[in-house]
Structure 1
């Protein structure tokens, strides 16, 4: 139900209760009459995105069926036309007199995706070979200016995805740019985990330096970084059986030097009040502790077990501080993310410990009670926090 629809249902009750007069209710409804088409515009934006995806998939299937019979110049020309149309129509719809921002943003996002398709196409036509990470880096360079020229959050989100994709490919690909830097040969999973954690922390700290003009970009970058930190710390609990424990000391590993730099920069950044961000930023240092212990191999053969449980404990604490920061900053999504990470961690560790006992009917019954009880408690707490945000008070 849209705001305007609900408003028209509530105003008669306000008049009957004597809160407002009939004339005041009419003026309130007239004041919000200009937004009645918001739902239709949102629906049109969704249809445009869906239609665009179907068109791209259909075109890809047609081209695939006749790929060998299409000349290379026709392939490149078609791509250039599609790329120009996506950017041109997207920017025109966004900045045009009708202000169709959602539709224009969807087309601009499609243009960013087509640029990556163009890189793959050129590499295939001319039989170019190289690292996947280098191709992704070229994609980043090609779309980096689009969010700032168009000022669209969607294209900035694609740019953040591209940066994560570059780190992912560079960390796990043989000979990747980050594999040797991490010093984790023989453990691609750990190299990926460490690289994504460092990237997420770097994104969080750097988001504080955006100017007020780019506040929406800063908020998206901060949210993406927090989700990335939580996801990497959560994933650490699953990689403990795969990690190759190194016997060398902490300072002997290049990865450990990276952890030290992240801790140093994070500690320095946490001491500065970035427009109220200090409420959460110091506690992100918890995420780097399991990574430092894993890389250093301080506990020998038990390092993998220690890191798994430390990661779970760190994520629960991070969830608590995220929910608290969401209450203080009046951001419901931060409360939801914190509660979600807490629930996910507790349930994961529960089934990790008792999975071998689930062949008994009694354990299924107990597990069901645990899940229901945990869900009931956390959902109740989440509603209390969200109610406190709406009322502007403390929970």
Structure 2
């Protein structure tokens, strides 16, 4: 690094002292070691995956020619190798992150391969859902024994796939309620990561994986009243946004997984509901209170809404600034609009007004914070609303064209004013 090469010259010229030069050198060498460790970690995990897959392919190539006893031994071989590597790591390399992650990932896939091979050798009946469930339960201890964040991420993928297989592709057989217990089992590891390494890449990946997993799996509980899932999803996205900007998450920026997914999800849901078709269907549908109160969609909606309202209360209680983002309050405003829509077509107008208000307030927030990204996000929301109405109304092409021109001029003018304001401050 060039700065390290100049240290001796700066020291001789009297610009810095010898002690300062030593500390600068130690700092940059420490930074290089960290980068090297991250690189080793990535390649170590990839190497473990490739070695595991290679062993499986070699065995699979000669599988039909092997006797049952040898097949059984071959099925347990990756498992034994993985356990040996993990044991060696715990005894000799317990401080080495690369060894811990690599050996844990290898054993994770070895467990899955062994289960599949033994089932095939002895013709053990079962489906993909039960296979994934067994695999994830058996590998969960690896997360805590090896303290492996990579296995934790793979585990989240596995339980999401299990829930999707059970709730979507095996529909309408069952709802994957065990998913919540399995997700709760990983929460202690996630919490420790947030406390010990709040700005690490593993935390960022966990944020995305958990948020996406919940978004995907929530739809598997739609069984009786699909319409109520819109309430559930708006509450979930509101909860995401509130959690992403709360004191519980160290990275409280507009760029973390929860705030991004919460705001985007809210806007997408509201834009979908800004069309007439859904509300026309809702008015015609007979919805009785006795049926709604016992529907799983309603119960999940209540739970998510209460959790989100707890975060709203905490925000008002702990913050001196009582203002709240439109993405945090959208789920509260949507609830009465939804129930109005069960008997009145005015809900369509209210939804469109809500989306427009969110766009305007976002533009205002971006302007106040001198943030071009937030400003343009608000403009994009309004542009998306106009595009939706382009296909949904009987307005003439002249008026539609004027609307698009207005949005384009708005984009240019707002960005120009923001840039001028920044230059004026400089």
TM range (shorter): 0.5 to 0.7
Residue in 2 that maps onto 1:106:
102
Residue in 1 that maps onto 2:302:
260
Q: Secondary structure at the match of 1:271?
A: helix
Residues 376 and 319 (structure 1), Cα distance of their counterparts in 2 relative to 1, 3 Å cut:
closer
Aligned residues: 354
Residue in 1 that maps onto 2:23:
28
CA offsets, 1:75-133, max 9 Å, x none? 5544433234335425644773584313421331343344344444455552523462x
Cα deviation, residue 290, structure 1: 8.6
Residue in 2 that maps onto 1:332:
none
Tell me, yes or no, if the aligned pair for 1:140 and 1:163 is still in contact at 8 Å.
yes
Residue in 2 that maps onto 1:115:
111
CA distance in 2, matches of 1:112, 1:346: 47
CA offsets, 1:343-369, max 9 Å, x none? 98677667666699xxxxx99x989x7
Tell me, yes or no, if the aligned pair for 1:237 and 1:307 is still in contact at 8 Å.
yes
CA distance in 2, matches of 1:316, 1:136: 46
- Structure number with bigger Rg: 2
Residue in 1 that maps onto 2:49:
53
Residues 10 and 52 (structure 1), Cα distance of their counterparts in 2 relative to 1, 3 Å cut:
same
Residue in 1 that maps onto 2:222:
182
After TM superposition, the structure 1 = structure 2 runs for residues 32-111 of structure 1, keeping only pairs within 5 Å, are 32=27, 33=29, 36-70=32-66, 74-90=70-86, 92-93=88-89, 96-97=92-93, 99-111=95-107
Residues 30 and 272 (structure 1), Cα distance of their counterparts in 2 relative to 1, 3 Å cut:
same
Q: Secondary structure at the match of 2:160?
A: helix
Tell me, yes or no, if the aligned pair for 1:108 and 1:155 is still in contact at 8 Å.
yes
Residues 169 and 159 (structure 1), Cα distance of their counterparts in 2 relative to 1, 3 Å cut:
same
Residues 46 and 101 (structure 1), Cα distance of their counterparts in 2 relative to 1, 3 Å cut:
same
Cα deviation, residue 144, structure 1: 2.6
CA RMSD of the aligned region, Å? 6.1
Residues 51 and 200 (structure 1), Cα distance of their counterparts in 2 relative to 1, 3 Å cut:
farther
After TM superposition, the structure 1 = structure 2 runs for residues 238-249 of structure 1, keeping only pairs within 5 Å, are 245=282, 246-248=285-287
After TM superposition, the structure 1 = structure 2 runs for residues 87-236 of structure 1, keeping only pairs within 5 Å, are 87-90=83-86, 92-93=88-89, 96-97=92-93, 99-125=95-121, 126-130=123-127, 132=129, 134-173=130-169, 174-175=171-172, 176-178=174-176, 181-184=221-224, 194=232, 198=236, 201=239, 229=262, 232-233=265-266, 236=269
